[in-house]
């Protein structure tokens, strides 16, 4: 067996909680790579992100500034970390931080850090507010949606979309409003958390299904695994799922990849209605938190993404195991207060 290639990879999204970030499953995929021997640098926003304290997966952690502080603050901190750790690749895993990382791609490259992210155009055109235009452009069924910035717009939206409707945050979270009175409450909750605009979307009754995919930036699909959610939390997060044999979902994914020349990881959130018609309700422009299901089914997407970032040839995956399930669970870690204090005082652990 050939020797593995030693690399250092920075990973965000270590908040492995009830609404988990993708960081820990991404790291699990990297640690199981047959090609790379990976040293993982955790990049954290909060001192209580559980992944920080998972020493078997995360070798060293540094605190980084919130996305709201801007790309200059982020670059300054990353450059400080890079002088110590010499990272080869960074994998950002939050929608809110992607804008800064995309804009910083040339600067990061100059200090030796590779990324593999969508272009700014790709990132912006799939925003929730732009999804209806996206559907027309790429011939995809998309529910009607309306961008709102104040409650005076609710009445018109309800007349057009009908109740129930879905109230969506700018980056994350969604709630189904069955009555007009619920819309303002969800609007206030989501705008306080994620800012404006808020998206009101037509509710499509059906089965929620998802596809995780990886595009090489030329229109080729490197990996794609469809999944059906089997257990959904009150926050709408999949707590269990199963891989599907579904040509319609795969063909839709490949069509989007071919037309958009998507670069990097992607999740398509879909609903299949009673007539079997697929509706695209959201595109997440990065690897989703259930990526380890794809790894377990035979497509190591984190490994493939790192290869693409490092300009290493990657053959498209041709198969995955159908009927593989994932089931999430909570797990109590016991850590010393000294570790928390060190992270709080020094910004690293």
Residue in the block written with tokens 């850590």 = 335
Angle between helices 247-260 and 131-138 (to 10 degrees): 90
pLDDT at 12 over 70: yes
For residue 13, what pLDDT is reported?
96
Mean pLDDT, the chain, rounded, equals 94
Mean pLDDT of 320-339: 94
Domains of the chain with CATH codes: 5-116+332-346 (3.40.50.20), 151-202 (3.30.1490), 205-327 (3.30.470.20)
Nearest to 14 by CA among 57, 66, 75, 71: 57
pLDDT at residue number 172: 74
Mean local confidence (pLDDT), 255-272: 97
Query: Per-residue pLDDT averaged across 55-70, rounded?
Result: 96
Span 320-329, average pLDDT:
95
Angstrom distance (rounded) from CA 171 to CA 284: 9
pLDDT at 129: 81
Does 234 score more than 90 pLDDT? no
What's the mean pLDDT in 46-66? Answer: 96
> What SS3 state is found at 21?
coil
Nearest CA-CA partner of 122 in 209, 191, 216: 216
Residue 1: pLDDT band (50, 70, 90) is low
* Interior angle at CA 279, CA 204 and CA 94, nearest 5: 100
Q: How far is CA 324 from the centre of its chain?
A: 21
- The residues near 298 (Cβ < 8 Å, ≥ 6 apart) are 317, 319, 320, 321
């Amino acid at each position: 067996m050939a020797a593995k290639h030693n690399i250092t990879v920075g990973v965000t999204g270590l908040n492995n909680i009830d609404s988990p970030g993708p960081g820990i499953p991404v790291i699990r995929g990297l640690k199981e790579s047959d090609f790379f021997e990976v040293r993982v640098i955790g990049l954290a926003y909060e001192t209580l992100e559980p992944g920080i304290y998972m020493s078997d997966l995360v070798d060293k952690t540094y605190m980084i500034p919130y996305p709201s502080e801007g790309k200059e603050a982020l670059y300054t901190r990353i450059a400080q970390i890079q002088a110590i750790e010499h990272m080869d690749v960074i994998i950002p895993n939050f929608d809110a931080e992607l804008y800064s990382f995309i804009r910083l791609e040339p600067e990061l490259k100059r200090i030796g850090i590779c990324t593999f992210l969508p272009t700014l155009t790709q990132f912006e055109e799939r925003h929730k507010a732009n999804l209806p235009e996206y559907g027309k452009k790429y011939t995809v069924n998309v529910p009607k949606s309306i961008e709102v910035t104040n409650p005076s717009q609710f009445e018109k939206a309800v007349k057009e979309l009908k109740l129930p409707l879905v109230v969506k945050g700018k980056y994350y979270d969604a709630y189904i409003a069955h009555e007009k009175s619920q819309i303002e409450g969800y609007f206030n909750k989501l705008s306080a958390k994620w800012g404006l605009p808020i998206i009101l979307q037509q509710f499509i009754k059906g089965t929620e299904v998802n596809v995780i995919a990886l595009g090489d930036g030329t229109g080729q699909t490197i990996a794609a695994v469809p999944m059906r959610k089997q257990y959904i939390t009150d926050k709408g997060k999949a707590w269990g799922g199963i891989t599907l044999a579904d040509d319609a979902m795969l063909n839709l994914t490949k069509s989007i990849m071919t037309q958009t020349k998507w670069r990097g990881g992607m999740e398509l959130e879909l609903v299949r209605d009673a007539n079997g018609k697929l509706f695209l309700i959201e595109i997440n422009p990065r690897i989703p938190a259930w990526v380890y299901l794809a790894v377990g089914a035979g497509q190591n997407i984190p490994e493939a993404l790192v290869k693409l970032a490092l300009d290493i040839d990657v053959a498209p995956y041709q198969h995955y195991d159908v009927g593989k399930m994932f089931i999430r669970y909570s797990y109590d870690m016991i850590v010393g207060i000294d570790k928390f204090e060190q992270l709080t005082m020094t910004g690293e652990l």
